[in-house]
């Protein structure tokens, strides 16, 4: 391979990475970029093989999807006692659950479990936003569930107050459901992009300056070529 072809191949990889799905952004680091520039032929195989299978961060989204789905269903089941023994809902819907010794602690107990299992992941994801001083959606969700949780616990020792336990578990369930559906949509969209990437041709017809048409491999194309 001539130096001119090597330069063309390197230029093609730079353009292909930014025009496809910016695969290298998923693996930042100066050392990795230097290695890719030194081995352009290996980069081409990596970009069309491994990176196409993980386009759009499909692996991470798949893991988040499974996590949110599992936590949603578990928290939904744990929320049922909170809703049934909530005095507010009993008054609104006109029903009464049978009482037993310790039944007054069912609502706060299951609310704590739902908060610890379903709410803590939002707190963990909000921490990078706060650390980078870029509050976002996770910060807002965390603020809402923390305020509801702390206030509801305080009502256990403050007389003539009513907690927001059923509102707390309902909010957590809704947030888990929403993020589960979001991650599933992202995964499906990434899968569609992967299928489109498989349709990319291996060769192209390049129009030379003299008007002739030349069939070349995609790796030989440059950014200013006419195809």
Consecutive 10-residue runs of the chain (227 residues): their mean pLDDT?
43 42 40 41 41 39 82 97 93 91 92 96 93 93 95 92 93 95 88 74 77 78 75
pTM over 0.85: no
Give me the residues paired with residue 215 across strands. Answer: 205
Dist. CA 119–CA 122, nearest whole Å = 6
Count CA atoms within 13 Å of residue 119 on its CB side. 25
Give me the residues paired with residue 204 across strands. Answer: 216
Q: Which residues contact 138 (CB under 8 A, 6 or more apart)?
A: 122, 125, 126, 129
């Amino acid at each position: 391979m001539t130096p001119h072809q090597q330069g063309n191949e390197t230029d093609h990889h730079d353009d292909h990475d930014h025009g496809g799905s910016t695969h290298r952004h998923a693996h930042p680091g100066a050392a990795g970029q230097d290695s890719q520039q030194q081995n352009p032929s290996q980069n081409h195989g990596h970009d069309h093989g491994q990176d196409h299978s993980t386009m759009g961060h499909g692996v991470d989204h798949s893991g988040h999807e499974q996590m949110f789905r599992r936590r949603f269903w578990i928290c939904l089941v744990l929320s049922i006692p909170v809703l049934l023994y909530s005095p507010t809902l009993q008054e609104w819907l006109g029903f009464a659950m049978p009482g037993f010794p310790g039944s007054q602690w069912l609502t706060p107990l299951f609310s704590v479990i739902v908060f610890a299992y379903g709410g803590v992941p939002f707190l963990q994801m909000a921490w990078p936003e706060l650390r980078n001083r870029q509050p976002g959606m996770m910060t807002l969700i965390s603020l809402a569930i923390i305020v509801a949780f702390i206030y509801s616990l305080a009502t256990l020792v403050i007389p003539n107050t009513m907690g927001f336990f059923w509102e707390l578990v309902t909010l957590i369930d809704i947030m888990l459901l929403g993020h589960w559906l979001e991650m599933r949509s992202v995964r499906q969209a990434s899968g569609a992009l992967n299928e489109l990437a498989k349709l990319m041709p291996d060769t192209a017809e390049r129009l030379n300056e003299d008007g002739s048409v030349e069939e070349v491999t995609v790796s030989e194309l440059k950014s200013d070529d006419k195809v």
